[in-house]
Amino acid sequence: MRAGLPISLGLHAAVLWGGSIAFSNAKPLEEGQIVPVTLVSIADVTDIRAAIEPPKVKPEPAMEPEPEEPMQVLTAADNAAEEADETRIAPDEESVPEPVVPPEAEPDDEVEPEPEKVVEAKPVFDLDRISTLIDKRKDVSTTANTQQATEADEERLVYADRAREGIGTGTKMTVSELNALQTAMYRCWRMPADAADLELLVVRLQVDMLPGGFVRDVKVIDRAAQRRRAPGNAFWDVAEMRAVQAVTKCAPYDFLPEEKFDQWESLILNFRPKL
């Protein structure tokens, strides 16, 4: 699909290199010499698998090594995530200093309304609005156009933040059940504690579960919009990597009540580091 990016010694984006090629073994090495050190070329680092669709009845990874197709061992987030966002990452990475969308267009306060101080007591569930969002997002997902993507994502952020006001409404999951999830995450999530502007590095994950609390799929969503919170921050890749790792490491989530599977089968987890 995509060839590896040419990379210089100082480039921080190691995490997200590479495209998806079916075989994993033949990854060329980055060339480096000590005296004098010259990095000649860059690896086309193969990613593990194409992952056109998530393996349906995949059991917990650690239990099944799957020797003949090692790249599928993981329930892996990574591929799906990359697949979805691939086209968006590249521009993000390369045009680091420049936000893709003219920043004046949307003042920040609109992007990130503090949930605490929303004036309207009730979240607005406006169907028209939602369908607009859906339409836009459809466009976005099929195009590489980052600008549209961020725009749509951003609206969605606004929406999500408003919706957040509706805490507890209409859900049958109890607070303690969700607390258990957070406790588990505390154990598995290594915050990128040394990152600059840590609190801006919010990573949104879509997590799909299997019965028994196994992770079927995890992927970064709304990446472009999130990254606009701290454009050019060198720690985004690591923040995303750590969040995805946390979800994978904590599985199985067998403490989640079986009878409410329909509710946690698909979750959105927002990793919002607070020191």
Partner 1 sequence: MTRIFLTVLAASASFATLGLATPASAQIEVDITQGNIDPVPIAVPDFIGTDPQTAELGRQIADVIRADLERSGLFRALDPASFLETQTDIDYEPTFADWRIIKADALASGRIVRDGPDKVRVEFRLWDVFAGKQLKGIRFSTSNENWRRTAHKASDAIYTALTGEEGYFDSRIVFVDQRGPKTNRTKRLAVMDSDGHNPQYLLGGSDLVISPRFDPASQTVTYMSYETLPAQVYMLDINTGRRERLGSFPGMTFAPRFSPDGSQLILTMVKDGNSDLYAMDLRSRSTKRLTTDPGIDVSGSYSPDGKRIVFQSDRGGTPQLYTMNANGSGAKRISFGDGRFNSPVWSPRGDKIAFVRQNKGKFAIGVMDPDGKNMRILTDDWSVDMPSWSPNGRVIIFTKETRGTNGKSELWSVDLTGRNLKRIDTPGQATDPAWSALLE
Nearer to partner 1, 102 or 170 (CB): 170
CB 192 within 8 A of CB 212: no
Nearer to partner 1, 39 or 104 (CB): 39
Nearest distance, CB of residue 101 and partner 1, angstroms: 18
Angle at 111 between CA 105 and CA 117, to 5 degrees: 135
Nearest distance, CB of residue 242 and partner 1, angstroms: 8
Nearest distance, CB of residue 103 and partner 1, angstroms: 22
| Nearest in space to 15 (alpha carbons), one of 272, 234, 168 | 234
Nearest distance, CB of residue 7 and partner 1, angstroms: 10
Q: Residue 103 has what DSSP assignment?
A: G
Taking each helix axis as running N to C, give the angle between helix 175-188 and helix 236-250, from 0 to 180 degrees, rounded to the nearest 10. Answer: 120
Nearer to partner 1, 2 or 27 (CB): 27
Angle at 113 between CA 107 and CA 116, to 5 degrees: 155
Largest CA distance in the chain: 65
Nearer to partner 1, 28 or 103 (CB): 28
